[in-house]
Chains A and B, each alone.
Chain A
Amino acid sequence: MRVYARILAAGFRTQSRYLPAAFAGLLANATFGLLKSGILLTLVDGGGGEIDGYTAGTMAAYVWLSQGLLGSVNIWSLPSSARRIKSGDIAVDFLRPVDVQFAAIADDVGRGLFALIPRGLPSVGVGVLLVGMAMPAQILPYALGTVSLLLGITLSHALTYLLGTAGFWLVEVRGLQVLYMGVAGLLTGLITPVWLFPAWLEAIAVATPFPAVMMYPIDVLSGRTTGTDALALIGAQAGWLALALVAGGLATRLGRRKLEVQGG
């Protein structure tokens, strides 16, 4: 266990070397946040100040929390493990006395956690300053929200790791990644809250792990979902994470056999 904590800390430190990148990300987050605010607040306004349970304040909270999470979850790119699978370097990783999957995810989660500092929190700050947002006044949503946030970030990297393992069989996984980007972008609730979807699309979204990456943490943290409902969301996140890790472990084992056939 200690070794993974160290890998996580190393990932965190690696990312701290890319501060300009983090600030650039912040600028992009803020621009998209302003674009999202414009349309979503017009939407709330058109609904007479409330739509699907969102008021202007809670909608703004959704916009800026989702923008803040963007640098920490991974929707748009393959994990570094995928590059190592493609180049065959992963063979070296298999020789080390750590679990390849856990080590790769720990590294990515470490980087993701660092991104909260220069990118996540300031994004939320921009939202508070420019648009204003409603956040809960009690402690509990923040405590539960932190757990939910950690689970969401870990789940996101576990899912992209699993996606990357397709490289054991396909060599070139960019097509799959583009597909993942499209589906995850919509179903995580990044573009619009999942709860605004028409019922059938909402049902599809909830049947996938994607809302657990982003929508659930935002709901818990913003106090939209509280009490036992919040615990249920966190339970669902933990369930999806366990499932993703089991699938990732299985794919890694099968892929390793495949890799030995290719040789290196």
Chain B
Amino acid sequence: MGDGFVGRPYGVVRGRVRQVLRPYAVVLASRIRAQRAYRASFRADLFGTAVVGLTEMAEVVVLFSAANGTLGGLDLMQALLVFGLAELAFSSADMVFGHVDSLAQQVRAGTVDILYLRPQPLLAQLVTSDISLRRLGRSALAVVVLGFALVANDVEWGPRAVALLALSLVCGFAIFCANFVVAGGLQFFLLNAQEVTNAFVYGGRHASTQPATVWLRSITVIFGFVFPMAFCAYLPAMLLLGEPGAAWLPAWLGWFAPAAALWAWTLALLAWRAGVRHYQGGGG
């Protein structure tokens, strides 16, 4: 980091904000540099995450072609819109919060104790401890698919559509981030049972890319309302397309994505607080 970062006399408040954020910025910059150190591996990582996204898209394409074009009331282009929205929200959340759910390893290794010693909030430290640039490969693919789907589908463009799109991306990102934080909070309890959280973190990701019309009733309850994955992509996409939605999940619910995000974060912060309070140290 150059000296210019804190040097010049900005407003007092602004200076204060910078002072608070500075440690995070320094850490982030170093993480980003570190990731680019093994260049060949970093490129393979970027490419690899894009391939993972691609295989997940291949699933959608394979299923729809096996179904002769329509599945769960959607055609392939409409399904790609759902996929693109979900994938972009998930991959960006994964980039920022993805490593929070692997907290169990850090707890076992005793390295979390170090974070407790520092004067910054634990969650903020964890988030900035590793921004996974390699996941940009996956986000890039998501942007391409989403852009393609927005053009290929019959979307009535105007302020409403733009607002919906922005709303769903922001709320989808927030909901996926919240899932990672719930997972992080639970890791304090589930040291050896990380896959409990995989059920809703990665299961939720998978659910969000599907048309909710195919969900079994139990899944509708879990991923419609408890972990509100339907609000990330399916419901906003149905609003954009002017489709009616699914049983228990009518399209107009899509406008309530901010409420869903708020609920997801309430859950996240409760789980996180419970986890942090439960933690008794790594015995290091």
Residues of A within 8 A of B (CB): 18, 20-21, 23-25, 27-28, 30-32, 34-35, 37-40, 42-43, 46-47, 51-52, 130, 170-179, 181-183, 185-186, 191-192, 196-198, 201
Minimum C-beta distance from A45 to chain B (A): 9
Minimum C-beta distance from A23 to chain B (A): 7
Given contacts A27-B199, A51-B66, A192-B59, is CB(A176)–CB(B44) below 8 Å? yes
Interchain Cβ contacts under 8 Å between A and B, 29 examples: A20-B193, A21-B193, A21-B194, A23-B193, A24-B190, A24-B195, A27-B196, A28-B195, A28-B199, A31-B199, A35-B206, A35-B215, A38-B219, A39-B63, A42-B71, A51-B66, A52-B66, A170-B41, A174-B45, A175-B42, A177-B48, A178-B49, A179-B47, A179-B48, A185-B52, A186-B59, A192-B62, A192-B66, A201-B62
**Interfacial residues of chain B within 167-210, with CB under 8 A of chain A in the complex:** 190, 192-196, 198-200, 202-203, 206-207, 210
Minimum C-beta distance from B195 to chain A (A): 4
Is residue B125 within 8 Å, beta carbon to beta carbon, of the partner chain? Answer: no
**A171 to B41 alpha-carbon distance, docked (Å):** 9
Task: Known A-B contacts: A47-B68, A173-B41, A183-B55. Give 17 more (CB < 8 A).
Answer: A20-B192, A20-B193, A28-B202, A31-B222, A35-B219, A38-B210, A46-B68, A170-B41, A171-B38, A172-B38, A172-B41, A175-B45, A182-B54, A183-B51, A186-B55, A192-B62, A196-B66
Residues of B within 8 A of A (CB): 38, 40-49, 51-52, 54-56, 58-59, 62-63, 65-68, 70-72, 134, 190, 192-196, 198-200, 202-203, 206-207, 210, 213-216, 218-219, 222
Given contacts A27-B196, A192-B62, A196-B63, is CB(A182)–CB(B51) below 8 Å? yes
Of the candidates A34, A38, A47, A198, the one whose C-beta lies within 8 Å of that of B67 is: A47
Say what secondary structure dominates the interface of chain B. Answer: helix
**A80 to B147 alpha-carbon distance, docked (Å):** 41
Q: Which residues in A have their C-beta under 8 angstroms from that of B206?
A: 32, 35
Residues B62 and A198 in contact, CB atoms below 8 Å apart: yes
Residues A39 and B52 in contact, CB atoms below 8 Å apart: no
**A88 to B210 alpha-carbon distance, docked (Å):** 44
Residues B47 and A175 in contact, CB atoms below 8 Å apart: yes
**A174 to B134 alpha-carbon distance, docked (Å):** 11
Q: Which residues in B have their C-beta under 8 angstroms from that of A170?
A: 40-41
**A25 to B195 alpha-carbon distance, docked (Å):** 5
Please provide the 3 A-B residue pairs with the shortest distance between their CB atoms, ordered closest to farther: A175-B44, A178-B48, A24-B193
Q: Nearest residue in A to B190 (C-beta to C-beta)?
A: A24
